[in-house]
Amino acid sequence: QSVLTQPPSVSGAPGQRVTISCTGSSSNIGADYDVHWYQQLPGIAPKLLIYGNNNRPSGVPDRFSGSKSGTSASLAITGLQAEDEADYYCQSYDKSLSGSYVFGTGTKVTVL
Amino acid sequence: QVQLVQSGSELKKPGASVKVSCKASGYTFTNSNMNWVRQAPGQGLEWMGQISTNTGNPTYAQGFTGRFVFSLDTSVSTAYLQISSLKAEDTAVYYCARVNWYFDLWGRGTLVAVSS
């Protein structure tokens, strides 16, 4: 059972801006652990999209940005493109239960 | 080339066992822990646990104790996931991933299907 909650789906027209929220608690995001984001295209392994709350690995377009505040984080996609249609997951660390990595519930982004 | 190469899909009967391999190349295997992630059909990502590539010490997430075993062969830079007493609900894609707080390198995944 995921401890990080995301909206099941978001959608937008090409060129628009969409945001995905990731809500945690005082034992994970609120405990100052970083949040990371992954993009999973259909039938493909997840790919690191944002690390350390707001850093992009080499090759990730600057249309993708991340932020974190309190017990939540957000991923923003500006200038939405057709190839951005995918599932997106946040991830952090949780200090309860002897410590563990945790993933969000996942959000399907649909480009209208 | 930095990559994780996983073994191929498996079809098993309930009660059988399966061993999935994950071979690392292009980086120093013992510099990062190896993690395993499960994705059931149509579902999200679920962290199964990790194994220290330095000590071989495994850590299992809740729900993945008992039938799940992580192991290593550092001589060939390979991590293994063994699942025993397979059940239909074990049907999923299993990913290995290199982790340093975040999952920066993923294998392509191994589909394990359990059906009579």
Q: How far is B14 from chain A (nearest CA, A)?
A: 24
Contacting residues for B66 by C-beta, under 8 A, at least 6 apart: none
pLDDT at A99 over 90: no
Closest residue to A45, CB basis, from B47, B59, B109:
B109
Q: What is the pLDDT of residue B22?
A: 98
Q: Which of A34, A36, A45 sits opposite B107 (nearest CB)?
A: A45
pLDDT digits (tens, 9 = 90+) for B23-76: 999 999 999 999 999 999 999 999 999 999 999 999 999 999 999 999 999 999
> With an 8 Å Cβ cutoff, are A103 and B35 in contact?
no
- The predicted-structure confidence for B75-115, as pLDDT tens digits, reads as follows 999 999 999 999 999 999 999 999 988 999 999 999 999 99
Residue A67 DSSP SS3: strand
Chain B contact set for A48 (CB, 8 A):
102-104
C-alpha B25/C-alpha B58 separation (Å) is 21
Mean pLDDT of A52-74: 97
- Sorting pLDDT into bands at 50, 70 and 90, what band is A97? confident
Whole-number mean pLDDT of chain A? Answer: 96
Res A4: pLDDT = 97
Handedness of CA A18, A62, A51, A38 (dihedral sign): positive
From CA B53, how far away is CA B68, in angstroms rounded? Answer: 17
Which residue, B12, B9, B20, is CA-closest to B111? B9
A19: which DSSP letter? E
Do residues A12 and A112 make contact, with C-beta atoms less than 8 angstroms apart? yes
The answer to whether A101 contacts B104, with C-beta atoms less than 8 Å apart, is no
| Cα angle value A57/A93/B67 (rounded, 5°) | 110
From the list B44, B59, B101, which residue is nearest A103 (CB)? B44
A·B CB contacts under 8 A: 54
